Amino acid sequence: VSVFADPAGSFTTAAAMVAKVEKALEKKFERGLRDTRIAVFGATGVVGFCTAVIAAKEGARVTLVGHDGIERVEQIAAEIKSRFKIDVDAADGSSDARKTKLVEASEVILACAKAGVQVVSKAQLKGDGLLIAADVNAVPPAGIEGVAVNANSDPLEAAKAVGIGPLAIGNVKYKVEFGLFKRMIESEKTITLDFQEAFSLAREIAK
């Protein structure tokens, strides 16, 4: 029996998010994921976990941000190192001041928190080095204030960065889901598909 692992759509969401960010880095800033400083907000969920793994495997310098302190994200960072042999950092994002500092130190911020939870405000989008803010939350309020649901590498009002919203990410996600189901059905032998195959396909689809 072939298996396509995508718990509640989280693997394909993570794959689509990183692929859209990679494409925006290439098109807008002529660079890739390697050595890019990425902060993942909402890092304790499955989407945040997978996003961190995919980006770190591509050479990004990933920091997992803990909204309730550093302990849980440190455990997740240790799990990622043990399972995937890659290093990610953990940081305390339990106050507005700490979050602001983390945004200022990042080139890309990813909001992977649960629906309807704002994790970064407009006031915190002040970092001069910030290039991209991407958000998977389609339920108001936005995970990153000022990133429109349909933003597709559009300039943000509050920052020099561009925003990628949940509909632009979702468009790639659904195409990836469809493509992987098709591959599974058409395969003559048993295959197993997970977030790594999802990311490979998302890279082909993302514009």
Query: Would you kindly state where each structural domain of the chain is located, as residue ranges?
Result: 3-201
Average pLDDT over residues 32-36: 98
Residue 127: its pLDDT value, please? 76
Q: Is 30 left (phi over 0), alpha (psi -120 to 50) or beta?
A: left
Residue 83: its pLDDT value, please? 96
CATH homologous superfamily of domain 3-201?
NAD(P)-binding Rossmann-like Domain (3.40.50.720)
Residue 139: its pLDDT value, please? 93
Model pTM score:
0.96
Confidence check: pLDDT of 159 > 80: no
Spatial neighbors of 182 by CB under 8 A, at least 6 apart, are: none
